[in-house]
Amino acid sequence: MNVTPDLDARFRAAALAAGLVDVRFDIVPSPVGDLFLAATSKGLCRISFTPDSAEEDVARTFGVKMLRLPLDTIRRELDEYFEGKRHTFDLALDLRVAAFNEAVLHELARVPYGRVETYGGLAAKVGRPKAARAIGTVMNRNPIPIVLPCHRIIGANGSLTGYAGGLPVKQALLDLEGATLPL
């Protein structure tokens, strides 16, 4: 007595149409592995490289009324990015982070495609030149990697330092963008 795909799709569409869904999410394949995507009515709120833990994590911040539904616009922009056709994203974002984190992430969003910036350099841009370590923490907790390009932030000595998706993914994104690391 299983729910048919048709019945399942009808329920999901009805739930969405009735305005009952606080968070839509999906898990989509990408050249850097499966990505967890989530969006509220305000915009994209999470991209994660670890789909297994992301669902509950998002529920804690954005509410438990989460349903898996296609996120076509977000997915299309990401596909275009991975094909090298898109250099900037035109997506509304829903950031629920502390004020300092928000200021840093806004500045991060201005680091151009194919370029890198250091933690210290980004700290200077938000008016906290000595806060490189705090910037590292904000990058580490970036809720929307790729779209908010924390992969473009590297150590002062040119090392990649760290990345939520793992250093090979950070390297792959920089390679895709044709970024050259200062040596």
**9 lines the binding site for another protein (CB under 8 A):** no
Active-site residue flag, 45: no
Residues 111 and 151 sit within 8 Å (Cβ to Cβ):
no
103-to-34, 57, 96, 165 alpha-carbon distances in Å: 29, 22, 12, 23
Asked if 27 touches another protein (CB under 8 A), the answer is no
Closest CA to 162 of 130, 101, 107, 119: 119
Q: Which candidate in 47, 58, 144, 150 is catalytic?
A: 150
Q: Which stretch binds another protein (CB under 8 A): 13-21, 70-78, 140-148, 168-176?
A: 13-21
Per-position b or e across 11-35, b if 16+ CB within 10 A of its CB? ebeeeeeeeebebbbbeeebebeeb
Can residue 14 be called a binding residue for another protein (CB under 8 A)? yes
Q: How many CB atoms lie within 10 A of CB 171?
A: 15
Q: Is residue 12 within 8 Å of residue 32, measured between CB atoms?
A: no
Is residue 156 at the binding interface for another protein, with CB under 8 A as the rule?
A: no
- When asked if residue 7 is in the footprint of another protein (CB under 8 A), the reply is yes
> Looking only at residues 45 through 74 of this chain, which bind another protein when binding is defined by CB under 8 A?
55-56, 58-59, 63-68
Number of residues that bind another protein (CB under 8 A): 24
The catalytic residues are 150
Site for another protein, rule CB under 8 A: 1-3, 7-8, 10-11, 14-15, 18, 20-22, 25, 55-56, 58-59, 63-68
